[in-house]
Amino acid sequence: MPRKPKPAAQATAAVAAATGVQYWLLKTEPGEWSWSDQARAPGGVAPWDGVRNRQAMNNLRAMRPGDRCLFYHSGAGAASRRVVGVVEVVRPWYEGDGEGKEAAAGGAVDVRAVGEFRNPVPLGDIKKAAGEVEGMKGFALLRQARLSVMPVPAKIWDWICEAGGGFVQDGEVEEERV
């Protein structure tokens, strides 16, 4: 049975439509850059760089401050593939001016950790929802498995956030559930 979005999730999509906020998904190998690394970065802010695929780079270039991104751990084992948190774009695309992977890939956007999902959302659950959630069958995560930066339609964003139980924002203390 399809899940009905909660009013808060519906409000998220409405706010996005009114403000022009876009949603994205950013993939990373946890051994290279994990949620913990992002959260520990100064102010939770770090460059998202090292992207070489042209389509993924074009998606990075399309990002604007205030856009929200799902933080996705990819990996060799199916159990490691999951959405673990949310980051926000704080600096739009800029050309790499230094050394290392940022310069090699041409540029980056800066993102800030917003919150970690209470319940990470496994790729398997997203695949299972393909028949239930409008637009999920066409979602780039399922169609283009190797694409590392992709847009996320608002209804899919809402479903993933709901499936993840929402997220604990930086500085919040999670209440005990009884």
Q: Where are the domains of the chain?
A: 20-165
Coil, helix or strand at residue 24: strand
Banded pLDDT at 37 (limits 50, 70, 90): very high
pLDDT attached to residue 77? 80
Name which of 77-81, 86-90, 156-160 the model is least confident about. Answer: 77-81
User: CATH fold of 20-165, please?
Assistant: ph1033 like fold (3.10.590)
CA distance 8 to 159: 11
**Alpha-carbon gap, residue 131 to 14, rounded angstroms:** 23
Structure tokens at 61: 């270039």
Report the pLDDT value the prediction gives residue 131, as an integer from 0 to 100. 87
pLDDT tens digits, residue range 144-164?
989 999 999 999 999 999 999
Q: Give the pLDDT band of residue 8 (cuts 50, 70, 90).
A: very low
Q: Which of 142, 144, 122, 23 is nearest to 75 (CA)?
A: 122
User: What is the bridge-based pairing of β-strands 45-48 and 107-122?
Assistant: antiparallel
